[in-house]
Amino acid sequence: MASTVTLEDALSNVDLLEELPLPDQQPCIEPLPSSLMYQPNFNTNFEDRNAFVTGIARYIEQATVHSSMNEMLEEGQEYAVMLYTWRSCSRAIPQRTAIDRFCGEVRRLCHAERRKDFVSEAYLLTLGKFINMFAVLDELKNMKCSVKNDHSAY
């Protein structure tokens, strides 16, 4: 006589089959899952400028100048932090090279032949950041506390 098997009994029998060891003498070649982390870096400071040789050397030259100006801006930020933090015992700020560089770039942009050329927005923004850096450093230099500045109001 056939006995009836309920659905729960059939499912429990199937679950028991999953636990049944079936050795087949084969190694497990499935790798463990690994995570992949991707982090783009867009702040390359024009390090890849030599890879884009298109026959127009002025763009490579502009990228080189822009790169060196960004390095000078970072150096200016370090001076601003140093001057603000240690303003009571700091020395004079070495601005001479930055000012010469800025004046040279403005002279180069004002040249009669350069006025016709395209100047990138990033380049103009960097020149604006230079002006801002000079203003910040000048004000930090003026507010530096010293005996001369303490008695200048009298």
- What's the pLDDT score for residue 153? 46
pLDDT digits (tens, 9 = 90+) for 81-133: 777 776 655 555 555 666 777 777 777 777 676 667 777 787 788 888 888 88
For residue 48 the two structure tokens come to 């890849």
- Cα separation of 34 and 36, whole Å? 7
Domains held by the chain: number: 1
Residue 43 lies in a domain: no
Residue 109 lies in a domain: yes
Residue 52 lies in a domain: no
Residue 128 lies in a domain: yes
Residue 14 pLDDT greater than 70, yes or no: yes
Q: What proportions of the chain, in percent to the nearest 5, are helix, strand and coil?
A: 55, 0, 45
Residue 108 lies in a domain: yes
Give the residue from 52, 65, 77, 55 showing the smallest Cα distance to 129: 77
Residue 35 lies in a domain: no
pLDDT digits (tens, 9 = 90+) for 140-149: 766 655 545 5
Residue 37 lies in a domain: no
Q: Which residue has the higher pLDDT, 18 or 118?
A: 18
pTM: 0.45
* Interacting residues of 93 by C-beta distance below 8 A, sequence separation 6+: 79, 83, 137, 141
- Cα separation of 126 and 98, whole Å? 13
* Interacting residues of 124 by C-beta distance below 8 A, sequence separation 6+: none
Q: Which residue has the higher pLDDT, 153 or 38?
A: 38
pLDDT (mean) for 54-72:
75
Residue 13 pLDDT greater than 80, yes or no: yes
Query: Contact, 83 vs 133, CB < 8 A?
Result: no
- Cα separation of 109 and 94, whole Å? 25
Distance of CA 13 to the CA centre of its chain: 60
- What's the pLDDT score for residue 152? 53
Range of the domain at 108: 70-144
Give the other-Cβ count within 10 Å of 110's Cβ: 9
pLDDT band of residue 27 (cuts 50, 70, 90) is: confident
Residue 40 lies in a domain: no
- What's the pLDDT score for residue 8? 92
- Percent of the chain residues topping a pLDDT of 70: 68
